Amino acid sequence: MDSLDTLARWRTAQIAGVLVIALLALAAPLRAAEDDQIIRKEAWSFTGPFGIYDRAQLQRGFLVYQEVCASCHGMHYLHYRNLSEAGGPEFPEAAAKVVAASVEVEDGPDDQGEMYMRPGRLSDAFVSPFQNDQEARVANNGALPPDLSLMAKARPDGVNYLYSMLTGYADAPADVSMAEGMYYNTAFAGHQIAMPPPLFDDSIEYTDGTPPTIDNYAKDVTAFMMWAAEPKLEERHRVGFRVMIYLIIVAGLLYVAKRRVWSRGAH
Amino acid sequence: MAHKSNYVPQSAFEKWLDERLPVVRLMKDQFIDFPTPRNLNYWWTFGGILIFCLIAQMMTGIVLAMHYVANESMAFESIEHIMRNVNWGWLIRYTHAVGASMFFAAAYLHMFRGLYYGSYKAPREILWILGVVILLLMIATSFMGYSLPWGQMSFWAVTVITNLFSSFDSVIPGLGTRIVQWVWGGFSVGNPTLNRLFSLHYLLPFMIAGVVILHIWALHVPGNNNPTGIDVKRSSEAMPFHPYYTIKDGFALAVFAIVFAAFVFYAPNYLGHSDNYIPADPLVTPTHIVPEWYFLPFYAILRAIPSKLFGVIAMFGAIMVLFVVPWLDSSPIRSLRYRPMLKLFFWAFVVTCVALGYLGAMPPDGIYLLSARLGTFYYFAFFLVVLPVVGRIETPTQMPGSITEDIMSKERRRRAALEGGAPAGAPAAPEKR
């Protein structure tokens, strides 16, 4: 009936909505981009509103972490129990127990007042490779290998950056003079990274038929790091979908109710 | 809008209570019967939305405080504990973090609405001033809250902002340094600093809630402004707050909640900075220290001024100037609907604020710095020059005599458009309830 009026009001509401979204959308990309880092965009199973992790990929990624990264990088916000929890690599609990038992954990004091070492349990946090930052630096030519628990969220465009960095090693161009002990990397800020190239074709054995290439290793371990940083992502997407459906229905009902209430009183 | 109370106690108990503490009467008069102009548009729904934001922040915040540890060596880890091990901790924390952004987005739209429709003009000056007080408290609260995860950006934001006080050294040598050390509780940003930030972050929201009550009180004395800016002249121009505005605000809130939830569930870190997932390290300065998006315009103003002291003064002045807006505007007409010249300046002001936000995130040199200086100039010129001058020189457009007349002329235009220009079959119905 009063379609024009409704149209005008609806338009105001739309403008308001668009403004809110525009204000917020403007906000994030406003970080000054680093000079000339080459970041390749990869398609990930966990992006988008319905994204979930690829279990097999997380399991392979854990293997890469375990075989390569773990010798220098800790992941101390992860616990061994997480490896068998829903929404992650979902290893059988027995497998997670084996992984945990493969490390030595300091415990105590016992009834003699002594600290002692025991095999790890599911309830233990991942054991870091070094006792402290100083020991880590001494072992790594002065550079500190950062903890990887949150790495996928701690860099702009985290996962694409990590994947690009792991696959970004190259020979330095002739006009670039490299500092001693540094490696040329196309994705790293400043292009000089202290970490030696960690991945080589065929260096880790995959049992599920995935080609054992640098590219696949990098992709898999990046997905694993994403899960480590965001272990509740699947739950978040699942709950989010229900909440959105609920809110859209509520908004629709309120709109109809509003129209009916106002048609009584407005004229 | 003072109005007669319609409350009639229904039971002996209500009568007994009403004679001692008429709280039911207050609720009925102020939130059910309260006469509200019938022509409010959706820009008027942000008040209710902001109350929702405050309550959501307080409820999530209280739960977070049950698990958070305010200690420089444990704060970061306790946040990760909330994210990983506390039941629904990720949801509560992301809602709180995104909620801060949503709170500011709604507050800024609420303020732009007040500016556009002249809601700050007599008799609503106190209402406006209380709103600016709330904004100041919100800024302080969110700044302190952002420091609590004790990530790199938290730590360095605290360092940069608290160091602003050292600019007083250029007034009285040593004064600034003393103030900064007093604020820090030591010789650098450290554990005592984090503890007091947490304490105050918990305190200030309750102060906000107190000022919000005054803000609503100050609103309920003159009543709402409306898009025409013309006072309500007869009772048919207003309608009871409930159910008309409860349902309208409710619908707007649901739409707002959809945007809110989209961020919480699908892009919870989009509005944050990745550096804040790196634990605070006093020895490593981030390449770019950037505040949260809602502070960027003020940050741009701070950096646009070459002198540190005057930069700080300009930054705080950008908010302080809002206090005197009711007396800077020289026009008696409230709504910009009828002020064609100021309307242009207003939209230029909105664009300037957004542009300053963009420039606040860019490095302060070259074209960015120059633009930020021009933006800063216009920001202050809008208040100090445009508002006083334009009211004296502009010719307002034809105003309707009343809210009723405005609604009727819209109705006529609507019917004419619907009936394709044919003469209206019936005379417009007189406004009655």
Same domain, A218 and A263: no
**pLDDT for res A30:** 47
Same domain, A247 and A226: no
Which helix (H) or strand (E) is B352 found in, with range? helix B340-360
Token pair for B100:
């801060």
Nearest to B136 by CA among B174, B94, B107: B107
A47, A88 in Cβ contact below 8 A? no
CA distance A40 to chain B (A): 18
**pLDDT for res B4:** 84
**pLDDT for res A8:** 58
Q: How far apart are CA B292 and CA B310, in angstroms?
A: 22
More confident residue, A175 or B204: B204
End-to-end alpha carbon distance in chain A = 12
Residue A96, class by beta-carbon neighbours within 10 Å (0-12 exposed, 13-18 middle, 19+ buried)? buried
Q: Is residue A260 part of a domain?
A: yes
3-state SS string for B202-262: HHHHHHHHHHHHHHHHHHHCCCCCCCCCCCCCCHHHEEEHHHHHHHHHHHHHHHHHHHHHH
CA A139 to chain centre: 27
Interface mutation vs chain B, best among A24, A50, A133, A239, most B CBs within 10 Å: A24
Same domain, A184 and A211: yes
Q: How far apart are CA B72 and CA B74, in angstroms?
A: 6
**pLDDT for res B3:** 76
CB atoms A243 and B277 under 8 Å = no
Token pair for A134:
């100083």
**pLDDT for res B403:** 95
With contacts defined as CB-CB under 8 Å, which chain A residues touch B78?
Answer: none
DSSP string, B271-285: TS-GGGGSB--TT--
**pLDDT for res A22:** 63
| Nearest by CB: B105 against A23, A229, A251 | A23
For A179-220, what is each residue's pLDDT tens digit? 988 999 999 999 999 999 999 999 999 999 999 999 999 999
pLDDT at residue A1 tops 60: no
**pLDDT for res A264:** 83
- This model of the complex carries an ipTM of 0.91
CB atoms A150 and B287 under 8 Å = no
**pLDDT for res B286:** 93
Q: Is residue A220 part of a domain?
A: yes
- Residue B433 to residues A186, A221, A263, A265, B38, Cα–Cα distance (Å): 72, 68, 11, 6, 11
Average pLDDT of every residue of chain A: 90
Structural class in CATH, domain B42-162+191-232+244-270: mainly alpha
Same domain, A62 and A162: yes
Whether residue B427 is preceded by a cis peptide bond, meaning omega within 30 degrees of 0, is: no
Helix (H, G, I), strand (E, B) or coil at B381: helix
CB atoms B271 and A257 under 8 Å = no
**pLDDT for res B419:** 81
Residues of chain B with CATH 1.10.287.980: 290-396
Same domain, A178 and A67: yes
CATH number 3.90.1310.10 is the correct assignment for the domain at B290-396: no
CA B83 to chain centre: 29
**pLDDT for res B431:** 43
* Range with the poorest average pLDDT among A69-73, A138-142, B275-279: A138-142
- Per-block average pLDDT, block size 10, for chain B (433 residues)? 82 96 96 96 98 98 98 97 97 98 98 98 97 98 97 96 92 94 96 98 98 98 96 94 97 98 97 96 92 96 94 96 98 96 98 97 93 98 98 95 93 87 46 40
**pLDDT for res B428:** 46
| CATH number assigned to the domain comprising residue A217 | 1.10.760.10
The residues pairing with B396 across neighbouring beta strands, listed in sequence order, are none
Same domain, A135 and A263: no
Same domain, A266 and A205: no
| Nearest by CB: B239 against A31, A229, A265 | A265
A257, B247 in Cβ contact below 8 A? yes
pLDDT at residue A147 tops 90: yes
Interface mutation vs chain B, best among A1, A3, A31, A245, most B CBs within 10 Å: A31
Same domain, A185 and A142: yes
**pLDDT for res B283:** 93
**pLDDT for res B180:** 96
- Stretch A234-252: mean pLDDT: 98
Q: Is residue A63 part of a domain?
A: yes
Helix, strand, coil tally for chain B in percent (to 5): 70, 0, 30
Q: Is residue A111 part of a domain?
A: no
- Provide the residue range defining the domain that includes A263: 238-267
| Nearest by CB: B265 against A2, A9, A236 | A236
Same domain, A224 and A264: no
| Nearest by CB: B269 against A153, A261, A267 | A153
Please give the tally of structural domains in chain A: 2
Same domain, A66 and A157: yes
3-state SS string for chain A: CCHHHHHHHHHHHHHHHHHHHHHHHHHHHHCCCCCCCCCCCCCCCCCCCCCCCCHHHHHHHHHHHHHCHHHCCCCCCCEHHHHHCCCCCCCCHHHHHHHHHCCEEEECCCCCCCCEEEECCCCCECCCCCCCHHHHHHHCCCCCCCCCCCHHHCCCCHHHHHHHHHCCECCCCCCCCCCCCCEEECCCCCCEECCCCCCCCCCCCCCCCCCCCHHHHHHHHHHHHHHHHCCCHHHHHHHHHHHHHHHHHHHHHHHHHHHHHHHHHCC
